[in-house]
C-alpha cells in the first residue's frame, strides 16, 4: 500500500472499541449480552453480582454447558460465533446471541475475566484480558461459566463520563433483569448489589405466579389471558384490566421469539385497543410474547437486538390490535381477587387482631369516612377549605353569602358572590368581577405550600392511628429504599416489614382524607422514572422533585364538584392572592379570569 495514502486499516483493538460503542452503551448492555449467553448455554441457575450500579463490577455466573479452552479463546475474537455459519443461518437464528461481537467488544473496554468449564473436564479455563493483553490459565471451578467485567470504560474516559449515577445505571439493569425473570420462569435467578442479595426468584411452573412475584399482587390479580394461535404467528401472555393502567410504560413487557424488544408501534396498537377504557394519559399493563417464523422477522437491525423489523408489519400490528380488543370485549372488566396471600400479610392480619382489642370503634360519618380519633384528625385537617355536607347546596351557600359582610371594602378587599356548578367561585372586587377555577387555585396553593415545606426539609405530616400495610412490586423496592429520606421529607414514614412489605405509619397532612396508598404508589412510580437527585434545600428544584410535588398538589387539591362553604371560599382565594405572581395551576391552566367593570359595560353595550 502506498505510504502516502490517508486511508488506514484500523488496528483490531480500535475496531473492537468502536464496535463496543454500539454493543456496550452502559452496564445494562453488558448484563444483557452476558445473560443471553447464559440462556443460550442452557443455564438453569443464573447469578448476577453488581458493584456501584455495574460500573465497578459485573459478575455473571451460570451452570450451563461451559466452553472448551479453544472456544474460550475464540469467544473474545471479533465475529467469532457458534450460532451461525452461512447467510441463511442469519435469517433463521433462534438463539439470543449470534453476531460474535459482544465479548470482543466488552473485553476491549473493561478489565475482563472469563472462567469456564465443560462437563467431564478436569480443570476450568480462565482467560483474563487487560489492555489488550490476554492471559490464559487452568483453574479449579464448577461446571458452567463466570464472567467478570470490572471498571467499565476505564480506558475510554470520554465514554465513561456519559454514564449516569450508580442508582440510574442500577435501575436500568433491574428493568432488564425483570424482563428475563418474567419470561424464563424455569430458571433460578439471583441479583446482588453492593454485596447484598436484592432479588431471588426460584424456578416456577405457573407463569401468573411468576408475575405475582415480580410485579406484585395488584397486577397478578387483574390480568386477562391472551392466547392466539394463528398459522403465521402466535400471541400469548396477559394484558392488565383497565383499572391497573399506569402513568408510564414501566409495566409493558413484549417479547418476540423470546427476545425482549421495545417496539413502539406494537405498544401503540395495544394502547389504541384500550382507547375507550382508560384515559389517554395512562398506559395499559401487558406481558405478551409473540412467536413468529424466524425468517419473517429481522433481529439484526441493531447490535443491541432490542429492535426488530417484520417482513409484513401491518399484518402483525392489525392482528395484535384485534387480539387485544377481542380479549377486552369478552371479559368482565371488574377487579378479581385471587389467593396470593403472602406470609407477611398473614402476620400483619394476626397483628391487627391483637391490636383491635384496644382500638376505638369505627363508625361511618356523613362523608363515608371514619370517626373516632381518625375522624377527628380528618375533620381538623381536611376542612381547610370547608367542604359543605350533602343537602340543599344552593340554600347553604346563598344563606352563608347573605350572612357575610356585604361591603367590598372590608379587610379582604373582595366579596364572594357564590359558587357556580360546584367548580368556579365568583367574586366581586372594587374594579370588577373575578371567576376562580377552584381546583386550579387550590392546586397552586398546595404547590406553593409543598415547595416551601420541601425547601425547609419537612412536609407537615400526621401519624396514623392504624398504620397501613403496603406491598410494593419488586422493581420498586430499591426506589423506596434509596429514597427513604426524601419520602420522609415529603411526609411519608415507611418501615420495612419483611420482603416487599412496608408499614405506612405517617402521611402528609394534606393527603389525610385522600387515597394515600395510591398517591404513594404514584410518587414511587415518578421516582422510578426520574431517579435523579431529590434532596432538599436546593435553590433550583430538580425536575423529579417538581413532578412529585405537582402530583401531590393535584391529589390534595379541592376538586371540581366539591361544594365549598363561603368561609372556605374566602380562605382559598386569600391563600391564592397571597402569591399573586402565580396565577396558573401546576399544569399551566389559569386560576382566575378577571372582567373589569369597563369590559362588562362594553359587553352589555353600555359603553363604546
Mean local confidence (pLDDT), 228-245: 92
Cα–Cα distance, 216 to 514 (Å, whole number): 23
Cα–Cα distance, 25 to 152 (Å, whole number): 10
Residue 420 main-chain phi, psi, to 5 deg = -110, 125
Percentage with pLDDT > 90 across the chain: 43
Per the structure, the complete domain to which residue 504 belongs is given by: 411-529+540-607
3-state secondary structure of 366: coil
Asked if 221 and 192 sit in the same domain, the reply is no
Q: Is residue 489 part of a domain?
A: yes
pTM for the structure as a whole: 0.66
Nearest CA-CA partner of 489 in 431, 548, 569: 548
Asked if 438 and 577 sit in the same domain, the reply is yes
DSSP 203-221: --S-HHHHHHHHH-HHHHT
List, in sequence order, every residue forming a beta bridge with 59; answer none if it has no partner: 49, 148
Cα–Cα distance, 34 to 43 (Å, whole number): 12
The pLDDT value recorded for residue 223 is 95
Mean pLDDT check: name the lowest of 61-70, 148-157, 200-209, 536-545.
Answer: 536-545
Cα–Cα distance, 548 to 281 (Å, whole number): 17
- Count H helices and E strands in the chain, helices first: 21, 22
The pLDDT value recorded for residue 219 is 92
| pLDDT one-digit tens code per residue, 402-437 | 444 545 545 568 899 999 999 999 999 988 999 999
Q: Is residue 275 part of a domain?
A: yes
Domain count, the chain: 3
Q: In the predicted model, is pLDDT for residue 228 greater than 90?
A: yes
The pLDDT value recorded for residue 159 is 86
Question: If you average pLDDT over every residue of the chain, what do you get?
Answer: 80
Asked if 175 and 217 sit in the same domain, the reply is no
**Can you read off the three cell numbers belonging to residue 145?**
461459566
Asked if 138 and 224 sit in the same domain, the reply is no
Cα–Cα distance, 515 to 513 (Å, whole number): 7
Mean local confidence (pLDDT), 244-263: 90
Asked if 139 and 216 sit in the same domain, the reply is no
Asked if 470 and 550 sit in the same domain, the reply is yes
Examine the fold and report which residue of 313, 331, 349 is the final residue of a domain before the chain moves on: 331
Asked if 254 and 299 sit in the same domain, the reply is yes
Mean local confidence (pLDDT), 217-240: 93
Residue pair 247/528 in contact by the 8 Å Cβ criterion: no
Asked if 176 and 237 sit in the same domain, the reply is no
Question: Which CATH number does the domain housing residue 159 bear?
Answer: 3.30.565.10
In SS3 terms, 373-415 reads as HHHHHHHHHHHHHCECCCCCHHHHHHHHHHHCCCCCCCCCCEE
Asked if 29 and 59 sit in the same domain, the reply is yes
Asked if 248 and 166 sit in the same domain, the reply is no
N- to C-terminal Cα distance for the chain? 89
Query: Which residues, 6+ apart, have CB-to-CB distance to 339 below 8 Å?
Result: none
Res. 580 pLDDT band, cuts 50 70 90:
low
Cα–Cα distance, 286 to 263 (Å, whole number): 13
Looking only at the bridges linking them, the beta strands covering 432-437 and 309-310 are unpaired
Asked if 569 and 426 sit in the same domain, the reply is yes
Q: Is residue 267 part of a domain?
A: yes
Asked if 291 and 186 sit in the same domain, the reply is no
> How many C-beta atoms lie closer than 10 Å to residue 442's C-beta?
26
| pLDDT one-digit tens code per residue, 46-58 | 999 999 999 999 9
Amino acid at each position: 500500500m502506498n505510504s502516502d495514502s490517508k486511508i488506514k486499516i484500523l488496528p483490531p483493538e480500535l475496531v473492537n472499541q468502536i464496535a463496543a460503542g454500539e454493543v456496550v452503551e452502559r452496564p445494562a448492555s453488558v448484563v444483557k449480552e452476558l445473560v443471553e449467553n447464559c440462556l443460550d448455554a442452557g443455564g438453569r441457575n443464573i447469578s448476577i453480582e453488581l458493584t456501584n450500579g455495574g460500573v465497578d463490577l459485573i459478575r455473571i455466573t451460570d451452570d450451563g454447558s461451559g466452553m472448551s479452552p479453544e472456544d474460550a479463546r475464540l469467544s473474545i475474537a471479533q465475529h467469532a460465533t457458534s450460532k451461525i455459519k452461512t447467510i441463511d443461518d442469519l435469517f433463521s437464528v433462534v438463539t439470543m446471541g449470534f453476531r460474535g461481537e459482544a465479548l470482543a467488544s466488552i473485553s476491549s473496554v473493561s478489565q475482563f475475566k472469563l472462567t469456564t468449564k465443560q462437563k467431564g473436564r478436569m480443570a476450568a479455563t480462565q482467560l483474563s484480558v487487560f489492555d489488550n493483553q490476554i492471559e490464559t490459565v487452568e483453574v479449579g471451578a464448577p461446571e458452567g461459566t463466570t464472567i467478570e467485567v470490572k471498571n467499565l470504560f476505564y480506558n475510554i474516559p470520554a465514554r465513561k463520563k456519559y454514564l449516569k449515577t450508580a442508582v440510574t445505571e442500577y435501575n436500568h439493569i433491574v428493568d432488564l433483569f425483570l424482563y428475563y425473570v418474567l419470561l424464563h420462569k424455569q430458571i433460578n435467578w439471583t441479583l446482588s448489589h453492593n454485596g447484598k442479595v436484592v432479588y431471588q426468584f426460584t424456578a416456577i411452573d405457573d407463569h401468573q405466579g411468576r408475575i405475582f412475584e415480580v410485579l406484585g399482587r395488584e397486577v397478578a390479580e387483574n390480568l386477562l389471558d391472551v392466547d392466539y394461535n394463528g398459522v403465521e404467528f402466535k400471541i400469548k401472555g396477559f394484558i392488565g384490566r383497565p383499572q391497573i393502567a399506569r402513568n408510564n410504560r414501566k409495566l409493558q413487557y413484549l417479547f418476540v421469539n423470546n427476545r425482549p424488544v421495545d417496539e413502539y408501534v406494537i405498544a401503540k396498537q395495544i394502547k389504541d385497543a384500550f382507547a375507550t377504557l382508560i384515559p389517554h394519559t395512562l398506559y395499559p399493563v401487558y406481558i405478551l410474547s409473540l412467536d413468529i417464523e424466524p425468517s419473517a422477522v429481522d433481529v439484526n437491525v441493531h447490535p443491541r437486538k432490542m429492535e426488530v423489523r417484520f417482513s409484513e408489519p401491518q399484518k402483525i400490528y392489525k392482528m395484535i390490535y384485534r387480539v387485544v380488543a377481542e380479549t377486552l370485549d369478552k371479559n368482565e372488566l371488574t377487579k378479581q381477587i385471587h389467593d396470593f396471600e403472602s406470609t407477611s400479610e398473614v402476620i400483619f392480619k394476626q397483628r391487627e387482631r391483637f391490636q383491635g382489642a384496644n382500638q376505638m370503634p369505627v363508625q361511618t360519618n356523613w362523608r363515608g369516612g371514619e370517626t373516632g380519633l381518625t375522624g377527628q384528625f380528618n375533620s381538623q385537617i381536611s376542612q381547610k377549605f370547608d367542604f359543605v355536607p350533602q343537602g340543599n347546596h344552593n340554600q347553604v351557600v346563598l344563606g352563608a353569602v347573605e350572612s357575610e359582610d356585604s361591603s367590598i371594602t372590608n379587610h379582604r378587599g373582595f366579596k364572594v358572590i357564590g359558587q357556580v356548578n360546584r367548580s368556579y367561585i365568583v367574586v366581586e372586587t372594587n374594579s370588577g368581577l373575578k371567576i376562580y377555577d377552584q381546583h386550579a387555585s387550590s392546586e397552586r396553593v398546595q404547590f406553593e405550600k409543598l415547595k416551601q415545606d420541601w425547601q425547609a426539609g419537612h412536609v407537615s405530616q400526621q401519624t396514623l392511628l392504624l398504620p397501613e400495610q403496603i406491598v410494593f412490586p419488586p422493581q420498586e423496592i430499591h426506589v423506596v429504599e434509596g429514597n427513604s429520606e426524601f419520602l420522609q421529607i415529603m411526609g411519608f414514614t415507611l418501615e420495612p416489614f419483611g420482603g416487599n412489605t412496608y408499614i405506612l405509619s405517617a402521611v402528609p397532612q394534606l393527603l389525610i382524607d385522600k387515597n394515600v396508598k395510591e398517591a404513594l404508589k404514584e410518587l414511587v412510580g415518578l421516582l422510578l422514572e426520574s431517579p435523579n437527585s431529590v434532596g432538599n434545600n436546593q435553590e433550583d428544584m430538580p425536575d423529579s422533585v417538581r413532578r412529585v410535588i405537582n402530583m401531590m398538589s393535584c391529589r390534595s387539591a379541592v376538586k371540581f364538584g366539591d361544594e365549598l362553604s363561603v368561609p372556605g371560599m374566602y380562605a382559598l382565594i386569600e391563600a391564592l392572592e397571597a402569591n399573586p405572581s402565580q396565577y396558573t395551576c401546576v399544569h399551566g391552566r389559569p386560576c382566575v379570569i378577571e372582567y373589569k367593570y369597563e369590559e362588562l359595560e362594553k359587553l352589555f353595550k353600555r359603553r363604546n
